[in-house]
Amino acid sequence: MTIRPTSPPETGLNAETVVASDKARLQYISPQRARAEQLLASGLYKVAVAGVIAFALAPVIVVFLTSLSPSPFLEFPPSGISFRWWNAALTSTWLDPLWFSLRLAVVVSLISTTLGTLAAFAISRGSFRGREMLSTFLLSPLLIPQIVIGVALLQYLSVLHLRSLIGLPALVVGHVVITIPYVLRTVLVSLSGFDIRLEWAARDLGAGPIQTFRYVTLPIVKNGVFAGAVISFIISFNDVPISLFLNRPGQIPIPIRILNYMEYRFDPALAAVAVVTVGIVLILIAIGQRFARVSEYIYQQD
């Protein structure tokens, strides 16, 4: 039997081209070169990350250095170092509004987290008519400018002769309205990947509804709940449009106190207060990212 060599299929490439491409694919790279390329890529990545962090923190650093200026006016770079304005910022003029904002944000966060979580479970697990309408209604504050919500609440309280509620009660209601959508979204994201068969298995093994929720459901969705609580706290703490219409003397959030102060004075005490408020927000963001990966819930969809 005669074996005839078969000619290579005509692909438009000659033998020299095929051999050259094979050699290119099999090109040897020494360990030293591979290590150098890896270090270069890692170094460029670290430089890029450091640049982004520096760009994000630069305004905070500038404001902090401005707060150390001995001058009665905002200036950068500061002509010297003085804690005069920090002493002014740590008085009751600023600490009372700051403490009020913290209390307000805690109350709003607790209420929004509770209501938003219950609504998310109802929308995710329920099969009732109007489920999509309920979801759209609860998310609608995201589409309405907050200043419109603030004016509407003020007019509503005036028409019903409930102006006595302006202050902490009205602020809580207004802030809950604008923060529930964020809790709803984060919890819905957590529930979207939840396997309902885990709850069925727990119930088959004798666990009651409360035990099932505590030991099976809550550990799985707790990151979404915690992320929603952190986001609602930050939004309430920094809110201006609604707080601008619903505050009253003695119950003024820190952002409104800053705006009122800027109408008459513009000294480095504002910079010191701004550093404190931004620091609180950054700490909360770091905690939320560390324990609940807040950024994942910001960009994910259910």
Q: What share of the chain is helix, strand, coil (3-state, %, to 5)?
A: 75, 0, 25
User: Which tens digit of pLDDT belongs to each residue from 36-92?
Assistant: 767 777 777 777 877 887 787 777 787 788 777 777 777 777 777 777 778 888 888
Among 62, 74, 64, 176, CA closest to 119: 176
Sign of the four-CA dihedral 232, 283, 252, 107: positive
Average pLDDT, rounded, for the chain: 78
Q: Phi and psi for 251 in degrees, rounded to 5? A: -135, 65
CA distance 281 to 283: 5
Neighbours of 85 (CB within 10 A): 23
Q: Phi and psi for 248 in degrees, rounded to 5? A: -145, 160
Tokens found for residue 139: 């998310």
Give the pLDDT score at 268. 79
Please report, rounded to a whole number, the percentage of residues in the chain having pLDDT higher than 70: 83
| Residues 6 or more apart whose Cβ sits within 8 Å of residue 213 | none
Give the pLDDT score at 3. 47
- Domain coordinates of the chain in residue numbers? 30-67, 92-299
Q: Angle formed by the axes of helices 31-67 and 268-292, to 10°? A: 140
Among 99, 245, 255, CA closest to 167: 245
Long-range pairs, 18-23, Cβ under 8 A, ≥24:
none
Residues of the chain with pLDDT under 50: 1-4, 6, 19, 302
Give the pLDDT score at 216. 74
CA distances from 19 to 24, 28, 162 (A): 9, 15, 87
Among 47, 83, 85, CA closest to 274: 85
User: Which tens digit of pLDDT belongs to each residue from 234-245?
Assistant: 899 888 889 888
CATH number at 92-299: 1.10.3720.10
